[in-house]
Amino acid sequence: MVQKYDTASNPPIASGIKLSVFGQRAWDGIDTALTHYAGSSDPSNSWGANHVGILWLDTTDAANPKLKMWCQLTASPSYGWRTLRIGKTKTFQPVELTLTPSPKAAANIAWTTLDISTQLDAQQDTGQVAADVAAVDLLLRIQPGASETVGADNAYLKVRTSSSWSTFEHRLYAAAQGRWNQTVISRLPLDAAEAFQWGLEVGGGTVDMDYEIWLCGIHEEL
């Protein structure tokens, strides 16, 4: 981790310095530029307009670094760090998640937390599983029984984030008796444990609800 150029303890190149000092500061500048000021402390030192465009790789959380750029923040002007949110996205052949209780259902299923950290590790790039997966793409599928009545505010599969967003839920309603309906939920946020919640509301009559949740995309933090 390098933060050796134009910081509080490492001044930049200036006129009138010795050749040996010039060489060391030039090397420090190259080293720092190549590593984007990687470190856990803010490298800025009375920076302003001349520093716009410098990148800082904030490694406070080494497994989930944040890339920031020195920018003009207000018209006054004022300057500071702007976080660049460019996390890794990966899509793949859908992988069915194991739900408990298993399909089919004859009664409602209350909100159930599903930890998918193991499945996520299997889909992240090989050897790169330290980064948290912040959100996922899910394929939801539902099929009511041949004699199950639908059409009221029932007969749906639901998912939500099991954190501060838990009041917002996504629902997939059954379309018709004995027929599959499906949809993709994009970027469902996960909690810190890489988990989300799901549940089921069945229809009326002779209940025999089939349901599936498939993992088809991941979005890592940065």
pTM for the model stands at: 0.86
Give all domains of the chain, ordered by start, each with its CATH number. Answer: 19-84 (no CATH), 89-220 (2.60.120)
Does the pLDDT of residue 92 top 90, yes or no? yes
Residue 164, pLDDT score: 67
Instruction: Please check whether residue 2 is in contact with residue 37, taking contact to mean a CB–CB distance below 8 angstroms.
Output: yes
Share of the chain above pLDDT 90, in %: 90
Residue 132, pLDDT score: 94
> Is residue 11 reached through a cis peptide bond, with omega within 30 degrees of 0 on the bond before it?
no
Q: What's the whole-number mean pLDDT along residues 177-194?
A: 95
Residue 102, pLDDT score: 78
pLDDT in tens, 131-184: 999 999 999 999 999 999 998 899 999 999 987 666 789 999 999 999 999 999
Does the pLDDT of residue 25 top 80, yes or no? yes
- Closest C-alpha among 13, 17, 43 to residue 26: 13
